[in-house]
Amino acid sequence: MEMEDLIKKFKEYSTQDTTLLELAWNFSKEAHAQQKRASDDLYFTHCQAVADILAGFRMDQETIAAGLLHDVLEDTKITPDSIKKDFGPEICDLVQGVTKIETLKFSSRDVAQAENWRRMLLATAKDIRVIVIKLADRLHNMRTLNFLTREKQLEISHETISLYAPLSQRLGMFQIKSELEDLSFKYMHPDEFNSLSAKVQLRFAKREKLLEDFKAVLETQLAPTQIPHRILARAKNLFSIYRKMEKQEKPFEDIQDALGVRIITDTVVNCYALLGMVHSVFKPLAGSFTDYIAVPKMNLYRSLHTTVMAPSGELVEIQIRTDEMHHTSEYGIAAHWRYKMGEGGKDAHLNEKLNWLRQWMEWLQDLSSPREFIESFKTDLELDQIFIFTPKGEVKPLPMNATPIDFAYLIHSDIGDTCIGAKVNNKMVRLDHELKSGDICEILTRRNSAPKKDWLGIVKTAGARSHIRKYLREHGQPLE
């Protein structure tokens, strides 16, 4: 890839002047001139690839320039002052946010690793683009992992699947999440990966005809409505199938892997109109409908989900969404950056959409040790959600296995602090009771009641944990 190719790609979606990109390209190329990667390629090829991935996300010029420069502080003699002088404070902050810290100051490698994550995420809370660059960097490293030792492959794959893939899912970047999971799976379980890959291809070839027939029937029914739409087939990532096999303890042949299609349209109203059409033609599977448009997931994901029976007897999972929802589900937070640019100014909703991330970072900052930070971080990345109702019928999303205490703090910190009990579906339950989707939870409170230290071992959310710790600290109670 040459500089002209990157500029051409950038100009397909942006009218920004590209002087900064050209400067960053030449600066990085010169800074890394003497360095090579494990593949024996020039090190600069990695910087090019990261910039190319970022242009694929349609990021702004400053982000792509920072992508080109992301390793100069760590791997060359270039200083932050030099970056600031040539590229300004914004790009300097992005590059410093992505740069790893010196591991020499720490007692062990995993404490250093945890501190790296803490630092990177704090930089992300200030500017979300830091994490987008870091994910592009990790994606290219995973694509070129075959040149490293087996030990290094396993170490990097483990970190990727336990932290980077869930983080990209939490940020709504499903395209990256799937590729990171499948690449990690390939190195962690090579035999299972190769075997499953062959089986999935064979099954897909057999079912392609069923999918085409289903799409044809659907098109015939939808055409007269004149509702604008397009139908896309949906590929399942290998790791999610593997995880399903493990969870259900079944071989691949016994996994009910439904065919998947997406219907993309222009407006929310048309999403519901298309859903009505689909259900009038195909029998829906009882209990399979979920409305993530009315109640979006924590990571901004929105779609209607339903499963129907095709004429062939096969089950087909259908997702119905608008173009904007589709962009968000592929690129997540990067898509919002893109919309912000496209409108020539700040997206009024961008800050609101990212508030949960900033709030979450404030909660995690409260933890005393880097290792505790990482453990809390991993828990909060678990994205399997449940939906709990208040007695007034409001819906609140929580992670799986959340408790009434988590629910109380989600409603308000005062309700959490004074919680003494809970009713779930009108029955008294213990405070460590695991909530299930659809439960109606009522929190019982008493003035002058206070959080207990043992609640820290019960709660599942960073928000609840942070509020409890804060209360205990302010009232002179030891946390350890």
259-265 and 315-322: which strand pairing? parallel
At 262 the three-state DSSP class reads strand
What's the angle, vertex CA 194, arms to CA 189 and CA 200, rounded to 5? 120
At 368 the three-state DSSP class reads coil
Q: Of all helices (H) and strands (E), which one includes residue 384?
A: none
Q: How far is it, in rounded angstroms, from Cα 328 to Cα 174?
A: 9
What's the angle, vertex CA 280, arms to CA 276 and CA 285, rounded to 5? 90
**Both tokens assigned to 411:** 């409603």
Q: How far is it, in rounded angstroms, from Cα 83 to Cα 63?
A: 14
Catalytic residue among 5, 30, 74, 414: 74
Active site residue 317: no
**According to the 3-state scheme, what is the secondary structure of 13-39?**
CCCCCCHHHHHHHHHHHHHCCCCECCC
Scan for tokens 């029955």, then name that residue.
427
* 301, 328 contact by CB (below 8 A): yes
Q: How far is it, in rounded angstroms, from Cα 23 to Cα 72?
A: 14
Active site residue 75: yes
Neighbours of 387 (CB within 10 A): 15
Q: How far is it, in rounded angstroms, from Cα 290 to Cα 319?
A: 10
Catalytic residue among 5, 75, 266, 343: 75
| Amino acid occupying residue 204 | F
* 162, 154 contact by CB (below 8 A): no
Size (the chain), residues = 480
What's the angle, vertex CA 330, arms to CA 359 and CA 325, rounded to 5? 80
Cα atoms in the 13 Å half-sphere on the side-chain side of 373? 24
* Cα–Cα distance list, 47 to 13, 61, 62, 134, 137 (Å): 21, 15, 14, 12, 8
Would you please indicate which residues are annotated as catalytic (active-site) residues?
74-75
